[in-house]
Amino acid sequence: MLYLFDNDFIVKIINFDLMSDCLKLYNIETNQIRILNTLKYKLKSLKKKYSAEIIKNTENFIKDIKIVDDINPQDYCFLSSVDGIDEGEAVLFINANNKRESLIVTGDKRSIKTICNNKDIKNKLIGLNGKILIFEQVLLKLIETDFEKTIKKISSRLNSDIQLKLDTDKTIKMIFSQKENTTKETAIEGLQSNINEIKQLDSKILVE
């Protein structure tokens, strides 16, 4: 199985110091991961949003990770030209659509909603059904597996981001607004609500 990590997911999960927990939870080896070749360049533009520590940790994580395979230029042009799907997501979607043993792990719900709302694109990417795992699903599973450890890491990062005046993920900031006082039930409800936004558009596209 190949796990196609998008840029947003990688930086978000590392920001909360949950990458190792994620890989362990899903039994993912680093040699199974594929990433976009744009991430190392994108990091330079994220210094206002993430601390120098997170940027460095991300650089260390991706340095030995293989780049996702090239794709058919015609497929790429078709998908990347669609409003709501960026170039990187287009590469991952086409790869996963064409590879049976592959799964996208993403922090970008907008592009998924774009696919769900466009029948022509959905029909072209029918192979994506059940092959997308979003950031909120990963957090939900981590919360359900080890709430105390996960909430401690999330709270620590939220407190640090406030001190450093960094721009925290708005969805996570809202769900975990009580930080270490956030209850397990509140966290699960908030994450599940975000997951359901996608499922209501297409009940088959996400990993169950």
SS3 at position 2: strand
Claim to verify: residue 108 and residue 69 sit in the same structural domain: yes
Domain count, the chain: 2
- pLDDT value of position 166: 63
> Considering the domain boundaries, does residue 207 fall inside one?
no
- pLDDT value of position 164: 54
- pLDDT value of position 199: 96
Q: Looking at 135, 155, 170, which one is the last position of a domain? A: 135
- pLDDT value of position 163: 58
Claim to verify: residue 130 and residue 146 sit in the same structural domain: no
> Considering the domain boundaries, does residue 26 fall inside one?
yes
Rounded to whole angstroms, how far apart are CA atoms 204 and 199?
7
Give the CATH number of the domain where residue 96 resides.
Answer: 3.40.50.1010
Domain that holds residue 64: 2-135
Claim to verify: residue 94 and residue 49 sit in the same structural domain: yes
> Considering the domain boundaries, does residue 202 fall inside one?
no
Mean pLDDT, contiguous 10-residue spans, the chain (208 residues): 96 96 98 95 86 94 94 85 90 93 95 93 92 97 97 90 65 89 96 96 94
Helices (H), the chain: 7-15, 19-25, 39-42, 52-62, 73-80, 87-98, 109-116, 119-124, 135-145, 147-164, 170-175, 184-201
Claim to verify: residue 75 and residue 86 sit in the same structural domain: yes
Claim to verify: residue 131 and residue 144 sit in the same structural domain: no
- Contact assessment for residue 182 and residue 156, using Cβ atoms and an 8 Å cutoff: no
> Considering the domain boundaries, does residue 205 fall inside one?
no
Q: Looking at 135, 155, 175, which one is the last position of a domain? A: 135
- pLDDT value of position 159: 84
> Considering the domain boundaries, does residue 151 fall inside one?
yes
